[in-house]
Amino acid sequence: MAKERNILLDYLRALAILMVATVHTWSLARIDVDLHPTLSLVYSLFHRCGVPLFVMISGALQLSAPIRPFGEFYKKRYARILIPFLIWSAVIYLLSCFAGKYPEIHSVGDGLRCYIPYMLTNRINEAYWFIGLIVALYAVTPFLQRALQACSRKELLILCAIWLCYVVVRRVYPSLYLLEYTSRLTYFLGFYVLGYLLYREWGALVKPKENAIVRAISDCSFMTYLMHMVFITPFYMLIGFSGTTAPLWQLILLPISTSLLVVAICTFGGVLLKKILPIYRYLGIN
């Protein structure tokens, strides 16, 4: 499985990044939830599916990969995640400073002094909370690999069923005392394992035709995740869009159209960078 590229995962990764971008084009549009409850429900489905789908794809790939020494695994995976994150967070932070996002920063010294604290407290880009989640999941991946690859299908199904019960109880009765000692990590860890189960048992059954555009979106998806937010608000400002006063047809079409446009821009930029920079992998491009 590690040697052959699974085209299905390219399609799923492209769908996941479109979902995540649409969540943010929706949230930054500031559309009144009380005035448009049905539309809000539709977009909430994107919100609930985008990141879990990314996590399932990561679980499918990482947990099914050949078992490697701990040091080799951590060095490779964290370099692929953290180096692009540090590069793009610095770029976006610099752009945000020039755009006046941080009124408390008045000099280069202020900017340098605030960069690390703002990065650690997720004040540079709200989408970067995902990096902490992936770092935590990768921390336990070598242990999960060794445990799960020795499990039978029945054992994996039982494990996923227990997790599903937990998710249902968490949703229905969030004030349950036991749940106070669980976290978001437990929730996404289940998706991580579920992605591995689905990929191991049934991933080879679906074989879509390879598509160059889908593959390009997939290859640039992590870079797109890291930088897509920087395009949304300027685009809304350019066209004069306001979610509080726009007609319903604009509220329906514009966030989706904006997400498609933003993903297209990021993908085109990623393909271009891949052609001209030999270190493109350090920018989050496969």
223: in domain: yes
Q: Which domain holds residue 92?
A: 7-283
Distance CA 202, CA 194 (A): 12
Question: Domain for residue 186, yes or no?
Answer: yes
CA distance 133 to 135: 5
Overall number of domains in the chain: 1
Residue 3: per-residue pLDDT: 47
- What pTM was computed for the model? 0.90
Q: Would 1 be classed as within a structural domain?
A: no
Residue ranges, the chain, pLDDT below 50: 1-3
Instruction: Give 195-213 pLDDT, tens digit per residue.
Output: 999 999 888 888 889 999 9
Residue 165 forms part of a structural domain: yes
Q: Is residue 31 part of a domain?
A: yes
> What is the tens place of the pLDDT at every residue in 90-123?
999 999 998 888 999 989 999 999 999 999 898 9
SS3 content of the chain, % helix, strand, coil (to 5): 75, 0, 25
Separation between Cα atoms, residue 155 and residue 159, nearest integer Å: 6
Which pLDDT value is given to residue 128? 93
The DSSP symbol for 181 reads G
Question: Does residue 102 sit within a domain?
Answer: yes
Task: State the pLDDT at residue 149.
Answer: 93
Residue 165's alpha-carbon distances to 7, 147, 162, 282, in angstroms, are 31, 21, 5, 39
Structure tokens at 274: 């891949």
Q: Is residue 2 part of a domain?
A: no
